[in-house]
Structure 1
């Protein structure tokens, strides 16, 4: 499996060659008509969480989860939630806060995300909205009354990976999740009377294991292993289908609704291994994103940015 080391706690600011205090005063000047929000998009597995942490260690920021499944508590492995260690001390909102059996609608997301954005801005921080539920992001940004657009100016970043490469990666990621205990995690959550159209049980990895858990007590070791392999293959197929749907929604927002979305091609990152992958990530994704966000916030051209990497504080995380 491809492993991309997350030196997520990278301390890299001192971005601009301007006097101390100017950045914050420019960003939060009362003369500005709209306050600013950064929104990270991309298919599952492309590195949205990694980029959100990279940016939040380079700008004064907090992160709002926009994944409709990860908003629920529980099944941390199956839903691939960012861990507390991976968060590197950056405040996260709307992550694991909803009862696993409760429904969570786009309207619920709009209400909670809007409150989180206002709260983060009130503390002089930048809201970074990150997640794969593009329909929820669309509902928030293009609400029927245009309230969000009237208050906030948005910078959209899209982490993209070529589908054949991404499909291989998400397949390997499912294997890693199984190694980390996903099957037992879902088994402990299994309910033969559960509704898979409700709450966290809609998550890929839960309904696919239903047949296995029902048959498990009645099968010998060989047949159990076969049934489990089939369930894992179905999880992989459905994850790849999800990635394709997510990509289609981003293309629609960009091409049909004319959202100005900055595409960052991370394919080369996923084709490399080890430190070379980290270098590619900085060169192709984290670095360009930092420049885009700096220009968005402070209206200073990329030529003014200092390419001065600071010391890294490793969280010991693998993606």
Structure 2
């Protein structure tokens, strides 16, 4: 959503929604930029939250960081990155509603804070890139002379550090995790794709392809691994877009159905990955630097006010006023004997799985 264009396929907040409260970090990166990183996101989003004049905290507002790619949220909330341009890209393949966490922060002791809302959106949605992780670590070592793993370990050992890295930048934070029954969520995601099509998705894709991608395809230099071009929805319609007008109507219709089905499948898959990220990163790795996570059930949208809005407001108001929230945070058992560095080979998918939790 940080990129200009593809508003429908990336599920950006509508103009009507953006008029309800001020939104940040939307539609400001040129779509031809392919090297926008998590460091760029952190360096731009962080100052928006700070206490400097005109920033969110300085105006007695509460920043709401909305996922998005959870890796980008972690980079904003924790001291987890080394300042170098070649760093790991975030993981994930698209935005699934009600599947990722929403984080609210306030500067502490803020009885005078109004419950004003401002929204910062997560960074670009990227595929996992193991090679980039390796290159990033090599870059860190070249520039500092210190192994990347040693720097990360030092961050974890700082006062307030823990399993997720260094100390929280905003210690008075909490996480609202909107989650739904998987069947209900899958049905909602499929309907969302249908609604996108009705809202003009194909026209948006055709226009974007014509302006930014057709020439690259003709020269065989299209790239669906970087920047906005790897967003869920664009690459899934590649065959349809490049063949439209050059094949029979029957073939075009078949490719269109194939693209729609692929979009629905990959969106549902990403929703599962977001939930897994929340469980593994925030719930199964307890530590002094992990904010409380409050679960909000959104399976039945007819009960939105009772199950989501009312308890969320009670939690946030209690948090601001320094009271114990009426709801209990979500807790999950963790294995203190877990081996995070174990190596196992999955013969089915021919992959090396690192860590007991990932193998389980």
TM-score under structure 1 normalisation? 0.67
Partner of 2:191: 172
8 Å CA contact 2:31–2:228 kept in 1: the answer is yes
From 176, 197, 203, the counterpart of 1:157: 176
In 2, the alpha carbon distance for the partners of 1:148 and 1:97 equals: 29
In 1, the alpha carbon distance for the partners of 2:274 and 2:65 equals: 16
Does residue 94 of structure 1 match 2:25?
Answer: yes
Q: Quote how far apart the aligned CAs of 1:201 are.
A: 1.1
8 Å CA contact 2:282–2:293 kept in 1: the answer is yes
Does residue 110 of structure 1 match 2:42?
Answer: yes
Instruction: Work out which of the two has the higher radius of gyration on C-alpha atoms and give 1 or 2.
Output: 2
Matches within 5 A, 1:1-319: 70-102=1-33, 103-118=35-50, 119-144=55-80, 145=155, 149-190=168-209, 191=213, 192=217, 193-258=221-286, 259=290, 260-269=292-301, 277=302, 280-300=303-323
TM-superposition CA deviations, 1:217-269 (whole Å, max 9, x none): 22222221111001100011110111111111011123332232111011122
TM-superposition CA deviations, 1:152-183 (whole Å, max 9, x none): 42111110011121111111110110111111
Give 1 or 2: higher helix fraction. 1
In 2, the alpha carbon distance for the partners of 1:134 and 1:199 equals: 17
TM-superposition CA deviations, 1:106-134 (whole Å, max 9, x none): 11121112111112111221111112211
In 2, the alpha carbon distance for the partners of 1:120 and 1:148 equals: 21
8 Å CA contact 2:77–2:169 kept in 1: the answer is no
Q: Quote how far apart the aligned CAs of 1:105 are.
A: 1.5
Partner of 2:94: none
Q: Quote how far apart the aligned CAs of 1:302 are.
A: 6.2
Larger relative contact order (C-alpha < 8 A, sep ≥ 6)?
Answer: 1
Change (3 A) 1:182 1:148: farther
8 Å CA contact 2:77–2:170 kept in 1: the answer is no
Moved more, 121-130 or 186-195: 186-195
8 Å CA contact 1:140–1:148 kept in 2: the answer is no
Partner of 1:22: none
Partner of 2:151: none
Q: Quote how far apart the aligned CAs of 1:148 are.
A: 6.3
5+ long unaligned stretches in structure 2? 81-154, 156-160, 327-360
In 2, the alpha carbon distance for the partners of 1:301 and 1:242 equals: 34
Change (3 A) 1:239 1:151: closer
In 2, the alpha carbon distance for the partners of 1:298 and 1:151 equals: 16
TM-score under structure 2 normalisation? 0.59
8 Å CA contact 2:78–2:169 kept in 1: the answer is no
Matched positions, count = 225
TM-superposition CA deviations, 1:56-76 (whole Å, max 9, x none): xxxxxxxxxxxxxx1111110
Root-mean-square deviation (CA, aligned residues, Å) is 1.8
